[in-house]
Amino acid sequence: MSKILITGATGLLGGLVIDFLLQKGIEANEISALARSEEKAKTLKNVNINIKVGDYNDYDSLVAAFKGTEKLLFISGEDLTARLSQHENVVKASKESGVKHVVYTSFQRRNETETSPLGVLAQSHLLTEKWLKESGLNHTILKNNLYMDYIPSFIGDRVLETGTIYLPAGKRKISAGLRTEYAEATANILISEGHENKVYDFTNIEAYSYGDMAKSISEITGKTIQYISPSINEFTQALTHAGVPTESIGVLSGFSVAQEQGDLDVTSTDLKNLLGRNPTTLKTFLKTVYSS
């Protein structure tokens, strides 16, 4: 019987978790991967991972796929409009199929009210956490801060040309971590005991403002980079004028304003403890991105 089932296994985080499980000595035949089709799971099948075809929108497919699973890594879906019903399906199917323990990738926040600039993203995570708690299932909630991997796209591709980081995040900080380190810590949870009904903050041990990042990039590149924090209206107008799609403006402003309100400035040693070492700092990451 395969013990661990990974949903979102064809995605970046899920794929990394499977790599870490294999590296840490878990046999491929003890790992199952949920995929929306056999075709999408070809690479995983080639390394002898058990493939279970299922879709978050199809409840029966989930019940069938989850049968025999001890630990389920439930990776949140990416479709914000469908996510609520999808997540309800996953929690209910876990219960019906007798999963012993669900590890869920949630999100980092301070503000859990409707006033949060990340409200649209937050609602399905908050409800999923509630459903898991009410289900009676053993569960572990991972409150994932922003993947540090996305910070360069927030800073903008042309930062070295323009010499400017332009985001409405004020002076407040973000405690982002690398996706690969979230994946490694998640794999460590899946292969060890004692994580039932716990909540972990997946954050870095230090946080940075965009002002700090401008300073770091200036030091790394020898070019002066300034940070400008416009009002949200100025920001929206400037990006609309530059032809940036509305959806991208929404993501950039949502995260920036949340940061400006201190929502993402949570530092914790949970990730460090689960990794058994300090997480990669944003300063080190920026060096790898901007030093070439």
Q: Does 105 bind ligand NAP (CB under 6 A)?
A: yes
Helix (H) or strand (E) holding 33: strand 31-35
3-state SS, 61-88, equals HHHHHHCCCCEEEECCCCCCCCHHHHHH
Q: Does 8 bind ligand NAP (CB under 6 A)?
A: yes
Q: Does 84 bind ligand NAP (CB under 6 A)?
A: no
Is 149 or 206 the residue whose CB approaches ligand NAP more closely?
A: 149
Q: Which residue is nearest to ligand NAP (CB)?
A: 11
The CB density around residue 156, as the number of other CB atoms within 10 Å, is 15
> Which member of 56, 154, 227, 290 binds ligand NAP (CB under 6 A)?
56
> Which member of 2, 3, 12, 67 binds ligand NAP (CB under 6 A)?
12
Give how many residues touch ligand NAP by CB under 6 A.
23
Distance between CA atoms of 67 and 90, rounded to whole angstroms? 13
- Are 110 and 262 contacting, i.e. CB atoms less than 8 angstroms apart? yes
Smallest Cα–Cα separation from 103: which of 42, 219, 194, 208? 194
Q: CA 10, 66, 78: angle at the middle one, nearest 5?
A: 40
- Are 268 and 203 contacting, i.e. CB atoms less than 8 angstroms apart? yes
Amino acid in the structure at residue 236? T
Q: Does 76 bind ligand NAP (CB under 6 A)?
A: yes
Q: Does 40 bind ligand NAP (CB under 6 A)?
A: yes
Phi, psi of 74 (to 5 degrees): -100, 105
Is 205 or 228 the residue whose CB approaches ligand NAP more closely?
A: 205
> Which member of 26, 97, 135, 147 binds ligand NAP (CB under 6 A)?
147
Q: Does 4 bind ligand NAP (CB under 6 A)?
A: no
Shortest spacing between CB 115 and ligand NAP, in angstroms: 21
> Which member of 32, 86, 128, 261 binds ligand NAP (CB under 6 A)?
86
Which residue ranges make up the site for ligand NAP (CB under 6 A)?
Answer: 8-14, 36, 40, 55-57, 75-79, 86, 105, 144, 146-147, 150
